[in-house]
Structure 1
């Protein structure tokens, strides 16, 4: 099964969304570092999402991904859909990890990668033709690429933890 140029561009948009919060943190340091959950905790004492899910990261993804999508000739709407649903997947993963008692920024193999790629790709199917076999391939490619890039970014002191 071959992957097309358009599907590689979708992978690039997923990686853009995933990297936008890191880029924003590097550029803005502690600026606009406001947790989405505002520090709220559930009755169990566990945070709702944790301090690493910030408005800065969400806004960075929602701004950068449509821009990159537009520059790639895919249109801003596709980029916005990818960013929105990737962020929903990322936030959902954090919510689940907190319920499992995992600390913020800890790694849960698969849970950290699959929702962040699967949800936006499923949503993209409303805008573009994306067969389920290609969607599945893109999820696997994102999973592998994200793990490899994470280690490189950790080595470059951009990411705080090597996943």
Structure 2
């Protein structure tokens, strides 16, 4: 297993990457909330990603995670890569959910968490000498932390939904 400090750093960066859009929505509300897909609807009648995936969320996620990486004594580029690939994983999840005709904000356990943790960890695997077991443990830890923190943020009225 990767050393515990590195594991905590990576989990923190994944948390910042995925939490920043939630805090940005709460703080900025509709300000700068341009949908990333520009409102594009595909031939199946569903949006490409949906209105909740915004340019603001992606940009602020990358900036906040890059800054957090520096605070955690990691390279800012590592934070930017983790955030960018985590956002790509999140967009992939939204794309798949729209193709499955799931309503906006519908929960799909696993699909909502795994891509946004797995993709960035695979990208930094060699940089941090992560094993497949390391990645599996970190993805599971991310899922557990996300589910717990989501409920806490919902109770604090920061999240709109408890998942």
**TM-score class normalised by the smaller sequence:** over 0.9
Secondary structure of residue in 1 paired with 2:109: coil
Unaligned 5+ segments in structure 1 are: none
Q: What's the CA shift for 1:126?
A: 3.6
Q: What's the CA shift for 1:43?
A: 1.2
User: Which 4+ stretches in 1 moved above 3 angstroms?
Assistant: none
Q: What's the CA shift for 1:2?
A: 7.9
1:93 and 1:115 in contact (8 A); partners too? yes
Q: How does 1:1-163 map to 2 (within 5 A)?
A: 4-163=4-163
- CA deviations on 1:51-80 (whole Å, 9 max, x unpaired) are 010001001111000100011101101101
2:2 and 2:130 in contact (8 A); partners too? no
Secondary structure of residue in 1 paired with 2:45: coil
Secondary structure of residue in 2 paired with 1:159: coil
TM-score by length of 2: 0.96
2:47 and 2:98 in contact (8 A); partners too? yes
TM-score by length of 1: 0.96
1:46 and 1:99 in contact (8 A); partners too? yes
1:50 and 1:104 in contact (8 A); partners too? yes
Q: What's the CA shift for 1:27?
A: 2.1
2:68 and 2:79 in contact (8 A); partners too? yes
- Structure-2 separation of matches of 1:2 and 1:41: 43
2:13 and 2:65 in contact (8 A); partners too? yes
- CA deviations on 1:92-150 (whole Å, 9 max, x unpaired) are 00000000001122110000000000000000114221121111100000001101110
Q: What's the CA shift for 1:22?
A: 1.0
